[in-house]
Structure 1
Amino acid sequence: MTPRLALILIATTTILLGGIPADFSVAQAQEPRSRGPVHTEPPTDDPSYLLLGEFAGPITIGENEYETIGLQIRPLGRGEFEALAFRGGLPGQQKHRPEASKMVGVLSDGFLVLSGGPWAIFAEPDHALIISRTGERLGRLERIVRKSPTLGAKPPAEATVLFDGSGTDQFNNGSMTDDGLLIEGATIKPMFQDFDLHVEFRLPYMPQARDQGRGNSGVYLQSRYECQILDSFGELPTFNGAGSLYRYRAPDLNMSFPPLAWQTYDIRFTAPRWDADGNKIRNARITAWLNGVVVQDDVELENKTGAGQAEEPNLLPTKLQNHSDPVRFRNIWVIDRGLTPATEFPVEGNGEVEPAVKPTEPAEKPEAAEAAEEAKPADDTEPAEETPADAEAETAPTEDAS
């Protein structure tokens, strides 16, 4: 029996037996293991990495009826995987439904079979096929790569730029990588009371690590209130997961992107208020957007979170936590709302961050410019006429015959 056939039989048997328990986890079923490899760049020797990510597409649910399925696949190391399948689309998409089918699988020869849901999923790096209990192909999901709508957001004129890759003057304990990224563990020098903060971060790929040991950092507002940074991709919202207020409140939605992708935190913080005797008369409040989606909506904080410092009337600096994982940061800026109370926030980005120092570009040679001009299409070129088949393809989902 070939490995591929064995995986198909395992997947089919699991489906027929009613799937796996909702709380089952490959990670929970294993013996404790080390944190394993830590990658700050895409690995070239890990075939499981090629399957990490998000997939989406329509499946057949009846005659001429279709439903969008969103799929998140995360490697656990040593060829093992977990995945979440969502009806209606991925987290953050308009018709997303938060209930998920938890699935598990094993890699064999670059091919992954996931089982545990109402169907089996056969995943490859660029797509995933969904197969029913009777072996019928229901649909094909395509790999998608999402970007935060605030990625690359430029600081407004009234903002204070804290980090743009040109130096760490605005930080204590600040250090940079050779390619101009801020290393975890830096403390912001300026102190603010009420502020809006934009931070972009990138998590390492640590497939064998688990829970709080998997790409951990955090934004410690005033050194007291932690907005959690963690590799929680492919998990349901958890109490101490990404987007949570650490040890205080789970996120409304898990908007984590895969590790090694650039992600964004946009945080609106309002400090507590005190009377002349040092008594607190109003609690702190936080609204947080993870990758452009609200995950904490004007939440009132009755006290500090986790290991934060005690609440007092004095200001303390905001920190980017060092939890021993190589988390990298860029494009950090803050708006002091005490000075500019009516600023729009978050700010829409363009997905790219300009380098701090632009290299000087050589002037284009005249002959090169002339050749480029000749290569441009004529302005009077008419677009190709749309055929009925083209129009139908835009409105009805199709399936690959392969």
Structure 2
Amino acid sequence: MSRITCFLFVFSTLFIGLPVDAQERVAYTTIAEAGADYQVQGEYRGAVRIGGILRSASGLQVIARGEGKFTANLISGGLAGQGGKLDEVIVLEGATADGGTTLSAEGYTVTLADGVASVTNDAGKKIGKLRHIVRQSVTMGMPAPEQAVVLFDGENTDNLVDAKVTSDGLLMEGVLTKELVKDFRLHLEFRTPFMPNSLGQARGNSGVYIQRRYEVQVLDSFGLEGVHNECGGVYRQKPPAVNMALPPLVWQTYDIHFRAARFNEAGEKTANAVITVYHNGVPIHTDYELTNKTGAGQPEGPSAMPILLQNHSDPVRFRNIWLVHLDEDATQPELKTRNRLLEKSE
């Protein structure tokens, strides 16, 4: 089923300064059914005069908020992972009316039509133009090396517990690996649903629970601040270095290098677990020491345990999942990426 519905109250005032609305909670898993708002939302790239200076590299993130409403981030320097200054964004708000979408902030008005964002100042003078793009992770489709354990290739689920596969060959959330892991390298690809009427933790929530102890959050965090409980965050411990979340329904990648915590013969921890995470090819955690389990994770211990892809009642999908067990004495290999961290695909 590609569209899931229920009812909830969305407290919009906490996020976009609009009155509280009662909206139908929806979860679209295909672009074909996502509706007109999905065609407007997404990433735009171009040149805009920001602060009186023409920025040849500028980015725009347009986030759907349900029922034709949107927020957006106008970013100097480009998009996330491509030089964008995410700590200096200009936040715009607006809606679709009479067939057009207009967003505004003090000094800026953005008009969206046919995949083009035209930017004007308060005097109505055109100061920029951006075009809608769809980016792809440079590690997308990374093949499993010869020594890898393939967890899911679109068909075979022999290495998984309680696996459910959609009719189009995608793995559903709520699955456990049969493999018990200590030190490893993991590649997986995931896609969050389009849930425009939902906010925060109710918007495309899942997680990669390493050893069922440590969670790397999966969430539709496109255009958000990038905190510990958003996509790429080590849950309740550490936010990602940069919020690399792409728009919903766009495939994304995690490449994770993990070194398990060390314990002596008495069962005392002698070294913290260490994790490195690349989100869409960009390092967001580098040799981070996990101080303890995260959230509702299982207690730390010396035993190898499986990986859980969390079921948080949202239809998150996975594909191309494999892992390589590493020698406990080996160092974590560096993931080699191209000069351009993300590539544009039309």
Cα separation, 1, equivalents of 2:24 and 2:329: 45
Deviation at 1:267, TM superposition (A): 0.8
Cα separation, 1, equivalents of 2:109 and 2:57: 16
Mapping of residues 136-215 of structure 1, within 5 Å:
136-215=125-204
Alpha carbons 2:181, 2:304 under 8 Å: kept: yes
Tell me the equivalent position of 2:9: none
2:15 corresponds to which of 4, 25, 28: 25
Deviation at 1:345, TM superposition (A): 4.8
Tell me the equivalent position of 1:233: 222
| Secondary structure in structure 1 of the residue aligned to 2:27 | coil
Of 167-176 and 340-349, the range deviating more from structure 2:
340-349
AA in 2 matched with 1:325 = D
Tell me the equivalent position of 2:8: none
Q: Does 1:324 align with 2:286?
A: no
Q: Please tell me the root mean square deviation across aligned C-alpha atoms, in Å.
A: 2.3
Alpha carbons 1:130, 1:138 under 8 Å: kept: yes
Deviation at 1:129, TM superposition (A): 0.6
1:72 corresponds to which of 55, 61, 67: 61
Q: 1:34 to 1:247 in 2, by over 3 A?
A: farther
Deviation at 1:45, TM superposition (A): 6.8
Cα separation, 2, equivalents of 1:108 and 1:218: 37
| Secondary structure in structure 1 of the residue aligned to 2:136 | coil
Tell me the equivalent position of 1:261: 250
Tell me the equivalent position of 2:31: 42
Alpha carbons 2:58, 2:84 under 8 Å: kept: no
2:325 corresponds to which of 336, 342, 346: 336
2:231 corresponds to which of 221, 237, 242: 242
| Secondary structure in structure 2 of the residue aligned to 1:332 | strand
Alpha carbons 1:227, 1:244 under 8 Å: kept: yes
2:288 corresponds to which of 299, 312, 331: 299
Q: 1:39 to 1:45 in 2, by over 3 A?
A: closer
Deviation at 1:67, TM superposition (A): 3.4
Tell me the equivalent position of 1:356: none
Q: Could you state the TM-score of these two structures normalised by the residue count of structure 1?
A: 0.76
When Rg is computed on C-alpha atoms for both structures, the one with the higher figure is 1
Cα separation, 2, equivalents of 1:217 and 1:257: 15
AA in 1 matched with 2:121 = S
Q: 1:77 to 1:345 in 2, by over 3 A?
A: same
Q: 1:82 to 1:241 in 2, by over 3 A?
A: same
Q: 1:30 to 1:239 in 2, by over 3 A?
A: farther
Tell me the equivalent position of 1:105: 94
Cα separation, 1, equivalents of 2:139 and 2:83: 18
AA in 2 matched with 1:237 = G
Q: Does 1:87 align with 2:62?
A: no
Deviation at 1:54, TM superposition (A): 0.4
4+ residue segments displaced more than 3 Å = 32-35, 60-67, 94-98, 339-349
Tell me the equivalent position of 1:51: 40
Alpha carbons 1:153, 1:348 under 8 Å: kept: no
Q: 1:121 to 1:313 in 2, by over 3 A?
A: same
| Secondary structure in structure 2 of the residue aligned to 1:38 | strand
| Secondary structure in structure 1 of the residue aligned to 2:39 | helix
Cα separation, 1, equivalents of 2:66 and 2:84: 32
Bigger share in strand: 2
What whole-Å deviation, never above 9, does each CA across 1:67-111 have from its counterpart, x for those lacking one? 322000011111111111110000100354532111111111331
Bigger share in helix: 1
Q: 1:35 to 1:310 in 2, by over 3 A?
A: farther
Alpha carbons 2:228, 2:235 under 8 Å: kept: yes
- Structure 2: where are the runs of 5+ without partners? 1-12
Q: 1:138 to 1:151 in 2, by over 3 A?
A: same
| Secondary structure in structure 2 of the residue aligned to 1:147 | strand
Q: Could you state the TM-score of these two structures normalised by the residue count of structure 2?
A: 0.88
Alignment length, in residue pairs?
327
